[in-house]
């Protein structure tokens, strides 16, 4: 009977050893993927993307209006008058 218990004990020890190796490998994978997911990255620029600031292909072709220019504009929208809110009637 003791021979059977010893072989079961050896099997359990071997199983524990295999599980410890697997746990160590999984921890390494988690560390790798965590670094890959959350590590700082250098910004990569797509060479096919147009620039916002280059002269010939610029999106901003005309300058914005200054405060004085926008005051002189006749297309201004007048602010709406707010109505007073009435409290709950008792």
The pLDDT value given to residue 64: 72
Whether the per-residue pLDDT at 21 is higher than 70: the answer is: yes
Q: Which residue has the tokens 């006749």?
A: 74
Place of tokens 């295999």: 18
What is the DSSP code (8-state) at residue 59?
Answer: S
What whole-number percentage of the chain has pLDDT above 70?
A: 67
- pLDDT tier, 60 (very low <50, low <70, confident <90, very high otherwise): low
Instruction: Write down the residue that tokens 């209006």 correspond to.
Output: 65
Alpha helices in 39-59 (DSSP H): none
6-19 confidence digits (pLDDT tens): 899 999 999 999 99
pLDDT band, residue 52 (cuts 50/70/90): low
What are the structural domain ranges in the chain? 1-38
């Amino acid at each position: 009977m003791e021979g059977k218990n010893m072989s079961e004990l050896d099997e359990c020890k071997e199983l524990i050893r295999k599980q410890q190796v697997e746990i160590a490998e999984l921890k390494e994978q988690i560390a790798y993927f965590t670094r890959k997911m959350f590590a700082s990255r250098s910004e990569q620029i797509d060479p096919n993307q147009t620039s916002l600031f280059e002269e010939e292909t610029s999106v901003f072709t005309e300058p914005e209006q200054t405060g004085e220019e926008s005051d002189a504009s006749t297309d201004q929208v007048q602010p709406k008058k707010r109505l007073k809110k009435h409290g709950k009637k008792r």
